[in-house]
Amino acid sequence: MSDKVNSKTTVVDCSVRDGGLINKWQFDDNMVKAVFQAVNASGVDYMEIGYRASEKMFPPGEYGPWRFSKDDKILEIIDGEPLNTKLGVMVDIGRVEAEDINPAGDSPLSFIRVATYLKDVKKAIALANLIADKGYEAFINIMAISTVNDFDLEAGLAEIEKHAPVTAVTVVDSYGALDGDNVRHLVNVFKNSLDKKKVGFHGHNNLQLGFANTIDAIKAGTTFCDATITGIGRAAGNCPLELLLAHVDNPQYSIDPIFQVIQDVFVDLRKKIEWGYLLPYMITGMLNEHPRVAIALRNSKEKDDYADFYRKLTTPECYSN
């Protein structure tokens, strides 16, 4: 019973990149290879395989290979397979240097997305220009979008529209705090502020709205939709790729390889690391807070003391910390 949505909807898998936020990107090569092969076979348009970061800033070993996503490592994963899916990475402002990014002609990657807070949009524009100059398709993702006001947002988007050579700008609901009305409003602000760039959407599932918000974003005019296999991702996780592919219902996509990799890889992975709707994440989403306090709770002995957690978070002296 799926909508027949805009056939131009473009799907971006970020299973390894966002999933790695759970375990510092300590996935073994077999997992990453299985995800790459499934996504590549499914006809998904883009795959963000990890972050690109400087090894000066994150000690390798403590952080797994997909914090760095080096070109030679990616070539090992591709292993000669013809690419149906464009491969890319995400970069954070101040955590990557120009020397970490080879010219696109020397890399298996075709796109790079810059993740930024709205306050750093000028830095994001500079980085997007560096990326485009090196020959990659560039994107900007604006994080924590539920915490910005329209006035500042419109000013930032106007800067991007004028100065950033990007294909799309993505609404990122980092806190999983948005509902359908919020999504429609934000997509409209983005559309009205951007003339030559498309709009993207990246949802989180704190309120069990990751998928629903993605549908609403598509209806409101979003083109680039982020999703992850089984919703793997930090805290409550993301819009599940399998739901999005079933919904978009474009003959380009095959859902079978995604079901297969869930059966083969994600059933076991879920026994080792945790993601998805849990009450502490619901509570931070409801309060429009970063999930870090809920993640800390889940790593403590009080992991299931949800009501106590809620009372603590909504008590003024806790907020003042």
Cβ 112 vs Cβ 132: under 8 Å: no
How many residues does this entry show for the chain?
A: 321
CB of 304 vs a copy of itself, minimal distance in Å: 4
CB of 287 vs a copy of itself, minimal distance in Å: 10
CB of 283 vs a copy of itself, minimal distance in Å: 8
- Comparing CB distances to a copy of itself, the nearer of 125 and 241 is 241
CB of 135 vs a copy of itself, minimal distance in Å: 38
For residue 274, the SS3 value is coil
CB of 179 vs a copy of itself, minimal distance in Å: 6
- Comparing CB distances to a copy of itself, the nearer of 110 and 254 is 254
Q: What is the spatial distance between Cα 17 and Cα 195, in angstroms, rounded to a whole number?
A: 29
- Comparing CB distances to a copy of itself, the nearer of 55 and 302 is 302
Q: What is the spatial distance between Cα 292 and Cα 132, in angstroms, rounded to a whole number?
A: 33
Phi/psi for 168 (5° steps) reads -150, 160
- Comparing CB distances to a copy of itself, the nearer of 181 and 317 is 181
Q: What is the spatial distance between Cα 52 and Cα 66, in angstroms, rounded to a whole number?
A: 8
In eight-state DSSP terms, residue 82 is P
Binding site residues, a copy of itself, CB under 8 A:
1-3, 146, 177-182, 205, 207-213, 215-216, 230, 240, 242-243, 246-247, 255-256, 259-260, 262-264, 267, 276-277, 279, 282-283, 286, 288, 304-308, 310-311
- Comparing CB distances to a copy of itself, the nearer of 65 and 233 is 233
- Comparing CB distances to a copy of itself, the nearer of 58 and 259 is 259
CB of 285 vs a copy of itself, minimal distance in Å: 9
Quick one: tokens of 166?
């990007």
- Comparing CB distances to a copy of itself, the nearer of 30 and 208 is 208
Q: What is the spatial distance between Cα 198 and Cα 186, in angstroms, rounded to a whole number?
A: 13
CB of 288 vs a copy of itself, minimal distance in Å: 6
Distance of alpha carbon 72 from its chain centroid, rounded? Answer: 23
- Comparing CB distances to a copy of itself, the nearer of 156 and 231 is 231
CB proximity list for 229: less than 8 A, separation 6 or greater: 13, 15, 35, 38, 39, 240, 241, 242, 258, 261, 262, 266
Q: What is the spatial distance between Cα 102 and Cα 313, in angstroms, rounded to a whole number?
A: 45
Give exposure, 273-289, as e/b (b: 16+ Cβ within 10 Å): eebbbbebbbbbbbbeb
CB of 105 vs a copy of itself, minimal distance in Å: 38
Q: What is the spatial distance between Cα 268 and Cα 277, in angstroms, rounded to a whole number?
A: 18
